[in-house]
Chains A and B, each alone.
Chain A
Amino acid sequence: MSTHQDDVNEARLAAALKEEAERGTPAYSELLHARIMQRIGTAGAVGGRRMDRGRGWVWYAAAAAAVIVLGLWAWNSEFWQSGGGGATNPGNRVVAGGSLLPPVGELLGRTVAMAQERLGAELAEGQLAYLDQDAKRLARFVVDQIAVVPSRP
């Protein structure tokens, strides 16, 4: 707990410190000012390099996002062009509403569906892996010709 004497001592200390600091205050130096301004003159524009570095991550993030969107779009376009979309007419790739790019959600959905499709195709292909090319063609022909009828329990 602080006593009255402590408060008095503290006030004295504060006054002594302040007074001594004021007593030792150096005079304003034009020489130092000129030195600083000269050094600043060589440092370049205000906030230049370091400001860029400070906010650089925003640009990096924006660039990364743009690259991802463009990549998805390119992959999607390639997929449509190769007829991978099943019943899609290549001439109709411009989506409804006049926009060249479909919404991002739709793009992601399509990408996931494409990946699933490719995985399914690879698995189906794996089932015929032990056959040679001609046997594979024959097997695919037979499988395509058989109508899929749900089995009864």
Chain B
Amino acid sequence: MCSTADKLVGLSDEELARRSRAGSSSCFEELVRRFQVPLLCFLLRRTARRCDAEDIVQESFVRAYECMGQYRDAWPFRTWLFTIAHRLAISHGRKVHARDEAELTAEPAEDEEGPAERLGREEEKRGLWEAARALLTGEQFSAVWLHYVEELPAREIARVLGRTRMAVKTMLHRARKRLLTQLAMSMVGQMQRGEV
């Protein structure tokens, strides 16, 4: 069905999904290749820990593979995959929340990241997305990511989040407002410290 890698590259996501559903594992592998980075990027920002993000990426693809029979052509494959990842991220978030509460009084755990990664993480902490993760709910964060980075239309975001299109538009409006306020406040702070 999918004989060469070159042939697969030219196919749309939906066509690859259709062929995967028909039993072509090479087509599914191509989908994994295409969506590994976008999913990892989204989940890295969402979960903040690389190992967690990688685990969710892996689980998302496994779920997609197992549920391929339920995939409908009317959905863009990207939307479907992000829906799975978003739901897994929510359940992961709940587990982490419970774990964090349990560890609140315990000794800080040994850091798994190396010095270079830690430096990168510190750099990121000053970033907008880090602020977004701190300020917004998980759902709002996903909506903002899907809108600005994945450039999905409101209709598709609504599908991912299981909300109406109007609810997504309201969610985006509120999230933007909060981010802009935060951005303005941090700029004022920087100006007062004489950094700008």
Contact = CB atoms under 8 A, between A and B. Distances in A.
Contact of B129 (A10, A14, A24, A37): A24
Nearest to B149: A21
Interface on chain A toward B: helix, strand, loop, or mixed SS? helix
Contacts of B66: 43-44, 47-50
A36 B180 contact: no
Contact of A13 (B37, B45, B54, B183): B183
B62 A36 contact: yes
Nearest to A38: B58
Interface on chain B toward A: helix, strand, loop, or mixed SS? helix
A36 B32 contact: yes
A9 B62 contact: no
Given A17-B144, A43-B65, A51-B70, A35 B41 contact: no
Interface in A22-40: 24-29, 32-33, 35-37, 39-40
A33 B129 CA distance: 26
B57 A32 contact: yes
Contact of B61 (A14, A36, A48, A49): A36
Interface residues of B, number: 41
Given A21-B45, A32-B40, A47 B149 contact: no
Interface stretch (B18-26, B92-100, B101-109, B159-167): B18-26
Interface in B128-165: 128-129, 132, 144-145, 148-149
Contacts of A55: 69
B18 to A, nearest CB: 11
B114 interface: no
B176 interface: yes
A122 interface: no
Interface of B: 20-25, 28-29, 32-33, 36-37, 40-41, 44-45, 50, 54, 57-58, 61-62, 65-70, 124, 127-129, 132, 144-145, 148-149, 176, 179-180, 183
28 contacts: A10-B180, A16-B183, A17-B128, A17-B148, A18-B149, A20-B128, A24-B41, A24-B44, A24-B124, A27-B37, A32-B40, A32-B54, A35-B54, A36-B61, A37-B29, A39-B61, A40-B32, A43-B66, A46-B24, A46-B25, A47-B65, A47-B69, A50-B66, A50-B69, A52-B69, A54-B67, A54-B69, A54-B70
